[in-house]
Each structure stands twice: as structure tokens, then as C-alpha cells.
């Protein structure tokens, strides 16, 4: 007779492939509706030793508090701002995430959003489909993409993946981060000053309280009426109200947005703007990348069962993970 599998709580949806992988080593429970949670937590909550957070579902503190024996959280994604990390760390709960495997896809998406916005790809696709090319003739010219100055907010793994793609466009590359790094790009400690120097501003910094509205009205104003803002980080990084106002007034040239402050809600004012490209938070959403993310999320759980460590701890848990490794 085999030992019973440990219990895992899945928060958010998951692909059938990932569910099957988790079920190999765990008894998997899905978080029920609000009406059913009290009985669920009373009966199952004490059994849960692992949580998988899928997508942007998050793990708030009030749910975590109902899991007294929780030991590990596997976050599907590189960003984990929707997990109550301080509370988990205080309880000695390890948190893992899925960095690196999505770097290339997100970097490619950032470049695509810039190009599509600058050349009005979506707007002119609609122009052709509506028959306007035949009835109205050629649309207005757009600005080119070669030889532009591109500022990158955040120079971690994905920021660097974006930067290495830019030389083919003859770009001058600037970056803003908490500190300068040993990189062949121009560092700006002052974000507003960098925005003033940039023609394209790409956000790829982590979300959370520390970066909320980092790109504020002042930064947007500095980017100016010819500038393009691209956001593939978190919607909270940009002051969405200030962004919409600047676009409406012509004080910002355009925006390529994969993320929003209150997803899946998107400001309706953006829908009619030809100088804005909108995507439903799919920066890493290719079949290959999502499978690799799922594998790493599951591999972290398997590793935890083996020796109490995870393969890719979030920064706040690296010391805890090292101690567990002995």
C-alpha cells in the first residue's frame, strides 16, 4: 500500500498538462467559490502543504491564514506581487516562481508592441479589412523605427533580453534601475530625465507597492507627444488615468499595452485610439513558453518534496532556501 499523496491547493485555472503533472505527486484541490470556502477550509485547509498560484489569481493573506500547515507556494509566472510575500516569509513558507523560461517571449512581445504602435499595424489592418484602402486611398504616413532612443525601465533578465534585440534597429539604449550595472548601456538614476531623452519607453520592472505608478504624469509628460510607452510588466507600474489623459490630449504619441491596472477591465477610451496597441496580458502566452513555465512550477514542487528546497526561489526566500539546503 502506497503512502497518501500530500495535498495541494490550486488557485486559478491550469492547463490539463499541468494538472496531470501536479496530480502525479499531489492530491490536487481547486479553490472553491466564496459560498463554499468556509466548509472547504474547515475540512481540507489543515491538510494543504502546497499551493500553486496560476496566472494572476494571487494568494491573499486571508486565504493563507486558513492553511495552517502550508509549507511551499509555487507561483506560475515570474511576477508574484499578488502573493502576500511578507506574510509567507514570516511563517517560513517558501515561494518559488518561473523566471528565465519566459524571457525571450516577453522580450519579443515588447518589441512587437513598439513596432506595431509606431507603424499603426493594428489600425491599418482594420483600415484594409474595412475596405477603406480601396475607398479612401492610402492612409497617413507613420514614424519609422530605425535609429530611435529606447529607454528600458528595469534591467533584470527580461530587460536585458529586450536590450540585446535593439541593436538591429540601430537604437541608442538607455535604462533605469535601482542601481547601475556592468552593461554597455547608458544608466539614468532619474526616470523622468531618462523619459525626456527617450523616444520609446519600455516598462519591464516588477510590480508591487514599491513600483506602483512609477510611470506617473511627470514621466509621461517627459516622454512627450512623439514618444511611445510600452508596458509588459504590471499594469500598476503605470498611472493609467494619467496615461489615458495624455493620450487624449495628444501629450503622448502612443502606447503598446499588454497589462492594465484592473485586468481584465481596460479603459474604454483606449479602444478607439489608432495610436494604441492593446493585448490581453499575453506577453509570455505561447504554447512553448507556457509549457516550460508549467514544467518549472511543477519541478519546484517535486524538488520541495525531495529535500525541502525549491529550484527557483523568489528573492525574498533565497536565504530561507539556502538554509533548507544545508
The catalytic residue positions are 234, 263, 281
Distances (CA, A) of 34 to 10, 55, 294: 15, 19, 26
Residue found by looking up cell 489592418 in the block: 125
Tell which residue, 312, 287, 313, 300, has the closest CA to residue 22. Answer: 300
The whole-angstrom separation of Cα 61 and Cα 107 is 32
The whole-angstrom separation of Cα 280 and Cα 123 is 17
Strands 149-153 and 172-176: parallel
The order of strands in the sheet holding 7-11 is 27-30, 7-11, 48-54, 72-76, 94-96
Number of Cβ within a 10 Å radius of residue 144: 10
Residue 51, SS3 per DSSP? strand
Amino acid at each position: 500500500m502506497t503512502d497518501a499523496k500530500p495535498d495541494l491547493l490550486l488557485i486559478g485555472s491550469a492547463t490539463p498538462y499541468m494538472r496531470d503533472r501536479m496530480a502525479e505527486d499531489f492530491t490536487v484541490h481547486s479553490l472553491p467559490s466564496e459560498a463554499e470556502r468556509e466548509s472547504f477550509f474547515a475540512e481540507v485547509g489543515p491538510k494543504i502543504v502546497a499551493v500553486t498560484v496560476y496566472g494572476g489569481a494571487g494568494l491573499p493573506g486571508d486565504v493563507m491564514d486558513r492553511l495552517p500547515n502550508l509549507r511551499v507556494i509555487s507561483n506560475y509566472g515570474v511576477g508574484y506581487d499578488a502573493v502576500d510575500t511578507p506574510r509567507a516569509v514570516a511563517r517560513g513558507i517558501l515561494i518559488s516562481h518561473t523566471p528565465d523560461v519566459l524571457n525571450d517571449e516577453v522580450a519579443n512581445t515588447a518589441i512587437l508592441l513598439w513596432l506595431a504602435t509606431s507603424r499603426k499595424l493594428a489600425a491599418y489592418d482594420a483600415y484594409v479589412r474595412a475596405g477603406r484602402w480601396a475607398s479612401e486611398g492610402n492612409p497617413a504616413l507613420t514614424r519609422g523605427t530605425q535609429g530611435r532612443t529606447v529607454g528600458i525601465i528595469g534591467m533584470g533578465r527580461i530587460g536585458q533580453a529586450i536590450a540585446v534585440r535593439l541593436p538591429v534597429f540601430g537604437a541608442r539604449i538607455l535604462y533605469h534601475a535601482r542601481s547601475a550595472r556592468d552593461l554597455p548601456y547608458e544608466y539614468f538614476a532619474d526616470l523622468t530625465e531618462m523619459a525626456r531623452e527617450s523616444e520609446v519607453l519600455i516598462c519591464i520592472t516588477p510590480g508591487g507597492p514599491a513600483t506602483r505608478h512609477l510611470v506617473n504624469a511627470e514621466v509621461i509628460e517627459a516622454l512627450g507627444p512623439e514618444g511611445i510607452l510600452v508596458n509588459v510588466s504590471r499594469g500598476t507600474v503605470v498611472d493609467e488615468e494619467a496615461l489615458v489623459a495624455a493620450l487624449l490630449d495628444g501629450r503622448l504619441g502612443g502606447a503598446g499595452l499588454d497589462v492594465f491596472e484592473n485586468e481584465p477591465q481596460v479603459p474604454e477610451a483606449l479602444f478607439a485610439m489608432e495610436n494604441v496597441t492593446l493585448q490581453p496580458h499575453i506577453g509570455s502566452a505561447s504554447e512553448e513558453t507556457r509549457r516550460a513555465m508549467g514544467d518549472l512550477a511543477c519541478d519546484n514542487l517535486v524538488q520541495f518534496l525531495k529535500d525541502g528546497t525549491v529550484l527557483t526561489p523568489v528573492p525574498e526566500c533565497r536565504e530561507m532556501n539556502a538554509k533548507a539546503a544545508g
